[in-house]
Amino acid sequence: MTQNQALFEYLLRLGDSDLILGQRLCELVGNAPALEEEMAIGNVALDLIGQARSWMTLAAEVASAAEIEGAGRSADDLAFTRDERAYRNLLIVEQANGNFADTMARQYLFDVWHFHLLSALSGSADERIAAIAAKGLKEVIYHLRRSSAWIKRLGDGTEESHAKMQDAIDEIWTYSGEMFIADEVDSLLADAGIGADLNQLRSLWQADVQALLAEATLNCPSMDEYMQRGSKQGLHTEQLGFLLAEMQFLPRAYPGASW
């Protein structure tokens, strides 16, 4: 595997996770528990889709310059014409919204990871990656602040909100381990100073999550539990196909459609 091939793959992973979570959150627009939360969810989704666009635009540039797989495709082509097996987003982001506790549990575990990931990538040896990461990091700080506040409020709230929040954490937990499983792409780019060191990310994430869940009077499951995996090989849960069907319908039914 050449460095450019690894870079293309790495950028797709970054872009896909942002895009799929952004799309998932958009399902709540018009359907959120309160108007303020609806605006917040819509804004977080917008930030994520914007970041996805930056990563995919760069992925398309890298592919074209190096004439590797995907060459000649635009960011939109990458988002709207790849099938499920070609998607590289983390399994956690494609999970259904569930109830509000489920939505916030998924968001929080992702936000902590995203925050540490972009912090690391802000120092990437690849200036293009560092620039997108530094920009996105400012936005992600707000995402993390909001999701942390909701974990505390619901966890340390009423008996019912506590129970729902605990169930939500327990349910989504099995998808968290995959965020730290490194493969050839991760090692190659981490060694080159371009990508993030996932082992380091794991300990930062663990410390933050354990501390916040304790503050929220919630039980933190073990990181040694059985964890789902597969997204780096394009093996997804059944949730992704339905999401893509909706997201990709228009560009597939009307190729080249524009406003």
Partner 1 sequence: MIREFDNAQADHTSQPLIATDRAGQQLEQPSIEAIWTLLDAVPDPEVPVVSVVDLGIVRDLQWDGRQLVVTLTPTYSGCPATEFIEEAITEALHAAGIANVRLHQQLAPAWTTDWITESGREKLRQYGIAPPVGSASKRSLLGEEPEVACPQCGSHDTVQVSEFGSTACKALYRCNSCLEPFDYFKCI
Select 125 or 149, whichever has its Cβ closest to partner 1. Answer: 149
Q: How far is CA 65 from CA 3, 60, 70, 71, 180, in A?
A: 13, 9, 11, 8, 30
User: Does 17 sit near partner 1 (CB under 8 A)?
Assistant: no
CB-CB contact of 107 with 89 (8 Å) = no
CB of 177 to partner 1, least distance (A): 26
Name the residue nearer to partner 1 (CB basis): 97 or 228. Answer: 97
- Angstrom distance (rounded) from CA 11 to CA 79: 12
Which tokens belong to 124?
């990437």
End-to-end CA distance of the chain: 39
Write out the binding residues for partner 1, residues 117-146 only, by CB under 8 A: 127, 130-132, 134-139, 141-142, 144-146
Nearer to partner 1, 42 or 251 (CB): 42
Alpha carbons 19 and 82: distance in angstroms, whole number: 13
Binding status of residue 39 toward partner 1 by CB under 8 A = yes
Closer to partner 1 at the Cβ: 109 or 188?
A: 109
Residue 61 CB partners (closer than 8 Å, separation 6+): none
The answer to whether 119 touches 137, Cβ cutoff 8 Å, is yes
44 binds partner 1 (CB under 8 A): yes
Identified binder of partner 1 from the candidate list 17, 23, 51, 231, rule CB under 8 A: 51
Q: Which is nearer to partner 1, 107 or 166 (CB)?
A: 107
Q: Rule CB under 8 A: say whether 204 interacts with partner 1.
A: no
Binding site for partner 1 (CB under 8 A): 36-37, 39-40, 42-44, 46-51, 53-54, 127, 130-132, 134-139, 141-142, 144-146, 149
